[in-house]
Amino acid sequence: MNPLCKPWEHTASRRQFLGASAGALAFGALGGLISPQAAEAMRQKEKQVLFVWLDGGISQLESWDPKPNTEFGGPFRTIKTSVPGTHFSELMPMCAKQAHRLCVVRNISTKDNAHSSGVARIQRGDPKNRGVPYPYFGSSIAKLMGPTSTKLPAYVWVKPGGGGFKAEDAGFLGPKYGSLAFGDGKPPDDLLRHASLTAEEDDERNELREVFNRQYAAQRRPAYTEASSYVFDSARELMKRANIFDTTKLPAKELDRYGRTEFGQHMLVARNMLEAGVRFVKVTSYGWDTHGDNFNGSASLVPKFDRALAAIIEDLAASGLLENTLVIAMSEFGRTPRINGHVGRDHWPEAWSIAMAGCGVKAGAVVGATNDKGTDVKDKGHDIGAVFHTWFSALGIDTKKVEYNNNGQPLPLAHEEMEAIKEALV
């Protein structure tokens, strides 16, 4: 059945139903937490990704790479972590306790100082300056690795605001590999099969849908018809589970661990999605563009991020999923060491940090460094192309042997002149 249909539509004929829904890109929802299929996927140790995107640019100086008691250091102190000799900002006490599971790269240097160019390039890792729209990392993984054995969507996005199917993420790969976005971390309305429709009737309708879809697709370009069928089928799998978005039934202690904030609850939903068997889960947090009042802004934003990221890493480690889940936390760039006239920090792609954990990365590692004031990297640094090589390598994808096929045009997965950050890999 169509996850978007209304109760009165259940009385429509099968032909009317199929006519209304043919070609539609459906929403979906997860549920059931760890299903038998997901348990089997865990036994098979299928690799997954959690991609935490802090839109606007988290300050590295108030998080992963503090510079206390310096000209640009700001008011916050540093604290020890679970890795001897490694210090984080005092705003990150929870992640400090998980530092032995983290890999922090402090010498990212990307040169894209605008949101319009930075967001797209950082999530695409564009090799050189090719004139083709490269896919976002989530779409790349959806294409290269596909769904897990659970058959749940390969690329899901939990975000504030509206949801829907975001075909534009897929670039030249085609709409089939776009993201299925859940606005405000919630499933769409009218998710469940209406009580007046039996499971047998639902199966019969879907058999008819598949027949009409084949007839429809026979005379049309495959890209969009394949995307429609793929999303619809994924939605059907999602509709079999109904509880994954409902965090209200969790113990109070669990809610507190992640934080009773929008981001904290979205990260709980992300954990449930990973446990259910989704291949790639992206979680977005907005509001990090702290041109004004950076320190009060960071004092509000960073602890919420710190609490939820540390909690999900701890939970993934306890369940055994961390071993096969690549966790990434990053923005499009960092913030300027120099403090502006509005007590803020501006865009600074020249020297900033990302954090990773789990599958394929070296736990407890701190890679690279910035100078004493945080104004530049100490060596040549690493651009996003090297980071993409690193992520693919961590997931077992050889970027020297695997390439994209863009309508017969071979294209590299990541920048041809860059290599993986070896110090970050096991």
Q: Can you list the residues of the chain whose pLDDT is less than 70?
A: 1-44, 189-193, 206, 209-210, 212-213, 216-229, 231-232, 235, 239, 242
Tokens 């206390």, residue? 68
For residue 282 the two structure tokens come to 């992206």
pLDDT at 196: 85
pLDDT at 197: 82
The whole-angstrom separation of Cα 240 and Cα 234 is 10
pLDDT at 136: 98
Pick one of 3.30.750.200, 3.40.50.720, 3.40.920.10, 3.40.720.10 as the CATH number of 37-191+242-424: 3.40.720.10
The whole-angstrom separation of Cα 63 and Cα 72 is 14
The 8-class DSSP code of residue 39 comes to H
Assess contact for 265 and 247: CB atoms under 8 A. Answer: yes
Q: Is the pTM of this model over 0.75?
A: yes
pLDDT at 31: 34
pLDDT at 184: 94
Signed CA dihedral, 32, 313, 278, 302: sign only: positive
The whole-angstrom separation of Cα 37 and Cα 275 is 10
pLDDT at 237: 74
pLDDT at 202: 75
SS3 202: helix
- What 168-172 contacts at long range (C-beta under 8 Å, 24+ apart), as own/partner pairs, is 169/135, 169/136, 169/138, 169/139, 170/135, 170/136, 170/139, 170/142, 170/143, 171/124, 171/132, 171/133, 171/134, 171/135, 171/136, 171/139, 172/132, 172/133, 172/134, 172/135, 172/404, 172/406, 172/407, 172/411
For residue 49 the two structure tokens come to 């990704």
Would you give the distance in Å from CA 24 to the centre of its chain? 25
pLDDT at 36: 55
The pLDDT tens digits of the residues spanning 78-110 come to 999 999 999 999 999 999 999 999 999 999 999
- Could you give the angle at which helices 262-276 and 294-319 cross, rounded to 10 degrees? 20
H-assigned helices in 90-182: 93-97, 115-124, 137-145
Ordered by start, the domain boundaries in the chain are 1-30+193-240, 37-191+242-424
Would you give the distance in Å from CA 275 to the centre of its chain? 15
Q: Give Dmax (Cα) for the chain.
A: 72
pLDDT at 199: 78
